[in-house]
Amino acid sequence: MQQDLLEKIARTNLFIFLQERTHEKQKMFGKMDLVPVEQFMEIYHKTGIDVDGRIKTIISLYSIFETCCQRYIQYAQELPGFQALSKEDQVTILKSKDISEQ
């Protein structure tokens, strides 16, 4: 429970940090639109610079998504009888749209 609270606080702090950073950039440079994908990829491959922060954002979102998936799997593993199912059936249940319907 405390781990969940700490993770929620960390995600909230990350969101606040990214939001503040965005506001600072907008104050300095005005509203900046995303660079078109083709231009971004060309700049990134030539220089390694994440010009609009999309890679950093994707990494942050991936981390949050990964944590959610891990919790979902932990929850499923605690359900009575889940461990007794074949791995194939476990995967099918985990891929279903709503585990509570199973």
The ranges assigned to domains in the chain are: 1-32
List the single range of 28-32, 33-37, 49-53, 76-80 with lowest mean pLDDT: 28-32
Average per-residue pLDDT for the chain: 84
Q: What angle do CA 75, 80, 85 make, to 5 degrees?
A: 90
Q: How far apart are CA 24 and CA 18, in angstroms?
A: 10
Helices (H), 30-84: 37-47, 54-78
Q: How confident is the model at residue 20 (pLDDT cuts 50, 70, 90)?
A: confident
Q: How confident is the model at residue 31 (pLDDT cuts 50, 70, 90)?
A: confident
pLDDT for res 42: 94
Query: Helix, strand or coil for residue 17?
Result: helix
pTM above 0.75, yes or no: no
